[in-house]
């Protein structure tokens, strides 16, 4: 999306007589899981979320003070994949344009298909069917697939399909097909693709073509989303601002949707 189109989209979204944004006119929906002891990571991740207390309680000065260290792999919990994750020379986390991360969003509902087949692939036909009902997806959009998989969080066996440490060969959950990503990334020019499962590639994937096709076009991904059932198919503004990591291939992200009341 060009800067002009981005500005126009935000102006239309926040059309108001006042200069200030009236947040009471919107429902704010948190699309992120919190980080903690139960946060799920890819089975081959060498570590998980760690929080260590540095201080907690009354200080020598007589006031309360608390501080912690936190440590996490980039790709776990609700997180963003930068294009660099699967594209040599792709944008790193800190270099993703802000207009890609604050943009109008659409939600493609494939819950029925995923319920019937836990290895379901969101297809190009699913995208075209959505467009037939709601109009063509605009360039620069954030496209989210709702599978209802977040209902299984944080059970690794239910969410990932397998809970064997260090082994990702038996995973089972829905994702995007390469044909859908190719349509969205190459033909529609979307900025971000997201899903409420552990990866935009389904659990059974061994070639990660959804990641590769999107990353080659500069598309970022949002994974392990939640609360997508609270969003309408269109008319939503999504803010997905990851930790700004220099040279990073991704990172933890707080994703928030603004839904007009």
Residues tagged active-site: 85
Q: Rounded to whole angstroms, how far apart are CA atoms 251 and 257? A: 19
From 221, 220, 211, 216, select the one nearest 186 (Cα to Cα).
216
The stretches of the chain forming alpha helices (DSSP H) are 3-13, 98-101, 111-116, 124-134, 156-159, 178-182, 209-216
Q: Which residues pair with 29 in a beta bridge?
A: 257
Q: Quote the DSSP letter at residue 258.
A: E
- What is the phi/psi pair of residue 178, to 5°? -60, -30
From 122, 117, 149, 109, select the one nearest 233 (Cα to Cα).
109
**Contact yes or no for 55/66 (Cβ under 8 A):** yes
């Amino acid at each position: 999306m060009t800067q002009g189109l981005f500005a126009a989209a935000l102006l239309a979204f926040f059309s108001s007589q006042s200069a200030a944004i009236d947040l009471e006119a919107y429902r704010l929906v948190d699309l992120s899981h919190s980080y903690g002891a139960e946060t799920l990571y890819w089975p081959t991740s060498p570590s998980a979320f760690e929080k260590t207390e540095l201080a907690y309680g009354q200080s020598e000065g007589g006031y309360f003070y608390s501080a912690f260290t936190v440590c996490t792999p980039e790709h776990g919990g609700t997180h963003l994949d930068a294009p660099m994750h699967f594209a040599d020379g792709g944008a790193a986390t800190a270099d993703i344009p802000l207009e890609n991360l604050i943009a109008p969003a659409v939600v493609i509902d494939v819950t029925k298909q995923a319920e019937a087949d836990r290895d379901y692939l969101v297809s190009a036909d699913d995208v075209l069917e959505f467009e037939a009902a709601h109009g063509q997806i605009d360039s620069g959009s954030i496209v989210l697939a709702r599978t209802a998989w977040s209902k299984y969080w944080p059970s690794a066996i239910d969410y990932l399909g397998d809970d064997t440490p260090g082994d990702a060969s038996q995973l089972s959950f829905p994702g995007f097909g390469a044909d859908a990503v190719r349509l969205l990334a190459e033909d529609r020019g979307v900025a971000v693709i997201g899903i409420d499962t552990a990866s935009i590639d389904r659990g059974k994937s061994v070639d990660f073509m959804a990641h590769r096709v999107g990353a080659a076009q500069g598309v970022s991904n949002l994974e392990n989303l939640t609360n997508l059932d609270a969003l309408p198919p269109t008319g939503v503004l999504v803010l997905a601002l990851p930790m700004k990591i220099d040279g990073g291939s991704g990172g933890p992200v707080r994703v928030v949707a603004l839904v007009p009341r």
